[in-house]
Amino acid sequence: MSKTISPLLIGLFTLATVAVAARAGTETEAQKYTLRYRFHPGETLRWEVVHRSQVDTTVSGITQTAETLSKSVKQWRVRDVKPDGSAVFVHQVESVDMRQKLSGCKEVRYNSQTDEKPPIGFQHVAQSVGVPLAVITMDSRGNVIQRERKQVKAGTNSESQITIPLPDEPVPVGYTWSFPHDIKVKTNLGTIKKVKARQTFTLKSVKTGVATIGVATQILTPIDDPALESQLIERASAGAVRFDIDAGRVISQQMDLDKHLVGYPNPASSLHYLTRFTEKLLPARAEGDSPIFAARESGPSPSSLATSPKTAARPTEKRE
């Protein structure tokens, strides 16, 4: 029997190899996802935002605790969508319900829907509810092109991130991209110092059209001053964002922080920060309906964070 491989067999083998390679390439391409924000003129998007925090300050063995809980409804009212996908929308806070408690003091509360007059210390919050805060032009990848502020708060960074940035190209699960930015902190001399930071984003998974994106923040500038570190500590939260690929919007996110800082406000003291930030997209409502404060349901008290963040799921952006 001849040991020579016939040209026919060689041709069939070559065709099969090409077919397998083509199929593998198609499968690889199918695993990439294009993440883009999508808006429609005239639509109104609303998110329930909850921010819980507990800060324990220990000085010479004595601990004082500050607990805060803020529930609000964030609103984006879309004015226009341009051919390139960028959108112009009005950003405002629809309603807010806040409470604050310090050790040894009575709890202070303010609800914009039920309280005619805010308590001392909450006036700036009341002035920011139900009025346009900014008109923002944002491209389909989450980059702010233009921002016209209607209200300016002391210490507010006009370049602050309003949502998570998305990658330029289609990406597979496991892909990581980053957003470098500067954070302004105030030194003991009263001057402003720019600290370099970087947020990293990783596409963790895609299930039923929803992408889960992991978020983490790194402070790149070396900091050896506890006073400066105390201004940066809340920027170090980490968690995840759930993004609806077809609808082109964030549907939920959760960011957690559990961190100690030693040596502030003096060498014999320490701080323990425990915070959780959550956001959830609310169902669209009929135009003309009165505002519905969806965060009415009582959630865990701020003190319950002492046992929950490390065991709870960790599914941007100081957020606005």
| Domain containing residue 64: CATH number | 2.30.230
pLDDT in the model for residue 285: 75
In a domain, 71, yes or no: yes
Give the DSSP letter of residue 6.
P
CA 70 to chain centre: 16
The range of the structural domain enclosing residue 152 comes to 32-306
In a domain, 317, yes or no: no
pLDDT in the model for residue 3: 52
Give the DSSP letter of residue 235.
G
Domain count, the chain: 1
In a domain, 283, yes or no: yes
pLDDT in the model for residue 11: 54
In a domain, 95, yes or no: yes
In a domain, 201, yes or no: yes
Helix, strand, coil percentages (3-state) for the chain, rounded to 5, are 15, 45, 40
In a domain, 11, yes or no: no
In a domain, 13, yes or no: no
Q: Is residue 273 within 8 Å of 265, Cβ to Cβ?
A: no
Of 199, 195, 200, residue with least CA distance to 184: 195
H helices present in the chain, as ranges: 7-30, 123-127, 226-232
The residues that bridge with 102 in the sheet, in sequence order, are: 66
Of 249, 209, 241, residue with least CA distance to 43: 249
Of 32, 46, 52, 164, residue with least CA distance to 99: 52
pLDDT in the model for residue 8: 52
- For 67, other C-beta atoms within 10 Å of its C-beta total 20
Q: Is residue 240 within 8 Å of 206, Cβ to Cβ?
A: no
Query: How does strand 192-207 pair with strand 210-219?
Result: antiparallel
Residue 265: is the preceding peptide bond cis (ω within 30°)?
yes
Per-residue confidence of the chain (320 residues) as pLDDT tens digits?
445 555 555 554 555 554 544 444 444 455 999 999 999 999 999 999 999 999 999 998 899 999 999 999 999 999 999 999 999 999 999 999 999 999 999 999 999 999 999 999 899 999 999 999 999 999 999 999 999 988 655 444 445 679 999 999 999 999 999 999 899 999 888 899 999 999 999 999 999 999 999 999 999 999 888 888 888 888 888 999 999 999 999 999 999 999 999 888 788 899 999 999 999 999 987 654 434 333 333 334 444 454 444 333 333 333 44
- For 197, other C-beta atoms within 10 Å of its C-beta total 18
C-alpha distances in angstroms, 30 versus 204, 210, 293? Answer: 16, 15, 41
- For 43, other C-beta atoms within 10 Å of its C-beta total 13
In a domain, 215, yes or no: yes
